[in-house]
């Protein structure tokens, strides 16, 4: 099972409490730890979280700097925890716009956790599905004979995927918005969508399990007829 999460609402969570937006992002990082642990215990094979989109570069420079520091700190503190749980880390997205120090942290986390045989934790950072699809098509070249499987492999190469990953089964978005926001558009072609008003820092174990239970009760048809054709 592949679960993807758009972690929305950190800034609003902080604003509602009269705190700087950076405080919301810090609380959001704590919620990530909870989500990773819950997903691993629930038997999720792959968890992909949307940490920083390509569009986020348009935010104020101070907020971007805070997000970069927070991501570096997260990799430093959580890599050991992931190794202990046999979780392997993979950061997907562009890397040409990140600082050398952050790149070193990413590469170190991926290398140290590579032997993990449990859940695959993918962190989408400086990620844009539009960019990935266009770049994959460019690499394929004019006149290339493509099918869904070969194009998916090209996408994973563009995104620096460390190992093959299947399409998304369940997409969760917090924060009340109901859109994909340029996140894994190809991989979410048949994903079940789950939207919640809960702001990301408040997305605890109970709420995550509620989303998984909701998914378990759905009938996936992939365009075909299900058991109830009425």
CATH number at residue 43: 3.40.1180.10
Residue 88 domain-assigned (yes or no): yes
Least confident range of 89-93, 192-196, 221-225: 221-225
Residue 125 domain-assigned (yes or no): yes
Out of 10, 45, 56, 100, the active site residue is 56
Residue 114 domain-assigned (yes or no): yes
In this model, does residue 230 exceed pLDDT 50?
A: no
What are the structure tokens assigned to 181, written together?
């926001």
In this model, does residue 4 exceed pLDDT 50?
A: yes
pLDDT in tens, 71-105: 999 999 999 999 999 999 999 999 999 999 999 99
Rg (CA), the chain: 18
Residue 186 domain-assigned (yes or no): yes
Q: Is 90 a catalytic residue?
A: no
The length of the chain, given as a count of residues = 230
Q: How many domains does the chain have?
A: 1
CA 52, chain centre distance (Å): 9
Residue 127 domain-assigned (yes or no): yes
Cross-sheet strand order for the sheet of 88-92: 88-92, 120-127, 46-53, 2-6, 170-173, 192-195
Cβ partners under 8 Å of residue 222, min gap 6: 190
Q: Is 8 a catalytic residue?
A: yes
In this model, does residue 198 exceed pLDDT 60?
A: yes
In this model, does residue 229 exceed pLDDT 80?
A: no
Mean pLDDT of the region 189-202: 97
What span, in angstroms and rounded, lies between the C-alpha atoms of 191 and 194? Answer: 10
Q: In DSSP terms, which residues pair with 193 in a beta bridge?
A: 171
Q: What is the band of 228 on the pLDDT scale with cuts at 50, 70, 90?
A: low
Q: What is the pLDDT of residue 223?
A: 60
Quote the mean pLDDT of the chain: 94
For the chain, the distance separating the N- and C-terminal CA atoms, rounded to the nearest angstrom, is: 28
Enclosing domain of residue 128 = 2-216
Residue 222 domain-assigned (yes or no): no
Least confident range of 39-53, 73-87, 134-148: 134-148
Q: What is the band of 226 on the pLDDT scale with cuts at 50, 70, 90?
A: low
Q: What is the pLDDT of residue 35?
A: 97
Specify the pTM: 0.93
Q: What is the band of 211 on the pLDDT scale with cuts at 50, 70, 90?
A: very high
In this model, does residue 191 exceed pLDDT 50?
A: yes
Residue 227 domain-assigned (yes or no): no
pLDDT in tens, 90-99: 999 999 999 9
Out of 8, 126, 159, 169, the active site residue is 8
Residue 229 domain-assigned (yes or no): no
């Amino acid at each position: 099972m592949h679960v993807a999460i758009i972690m929305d609402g950190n800034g609003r969570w902080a604003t509602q409490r009269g705190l700087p937006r950076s405080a919301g992002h810090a609380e959001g990082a704590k919620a990530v730890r909870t989500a990773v642990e819950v997903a691993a215990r629930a038997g999720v094979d792959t968890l992909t979280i949307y940490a920083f989109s390509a569009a986020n570069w348009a935010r104020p420079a101070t907020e971007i700097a805070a997000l970069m520091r927070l991501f570096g700190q997260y990799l430093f503190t959580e890599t050991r925890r992931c190794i202990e749980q046999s979780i392997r880390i993979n950061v997907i997205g562009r890397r040409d716009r990140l600082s050398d120090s952050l790149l070193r942290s990413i590469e170190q986390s991926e290398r140290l956790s590579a032997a993990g045989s449990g859940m695959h934790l993918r962190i989408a950072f400086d990620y844009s599905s539009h960019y990935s699809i266009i770049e994959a098509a460019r690499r394929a070249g004019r006149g290339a004979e493509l099918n869904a499987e070969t194009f998916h492999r090209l996408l994973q190469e563009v995104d620096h995927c460390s190992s093959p990953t299947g399409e998304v089964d369940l997409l969760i978005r917090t924060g009340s918005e109901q859109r994909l926001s340029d996140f894994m558009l190809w991989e979410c072609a048949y994903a079940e969508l789950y939207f919640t008003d809960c702001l990301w820092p408040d997305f605890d174990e109970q709420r995550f399990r509620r989303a998984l239970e909701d998914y378990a009760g759905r009938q996936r048809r992939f365009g075909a007829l299900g058991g109830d054709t009425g």
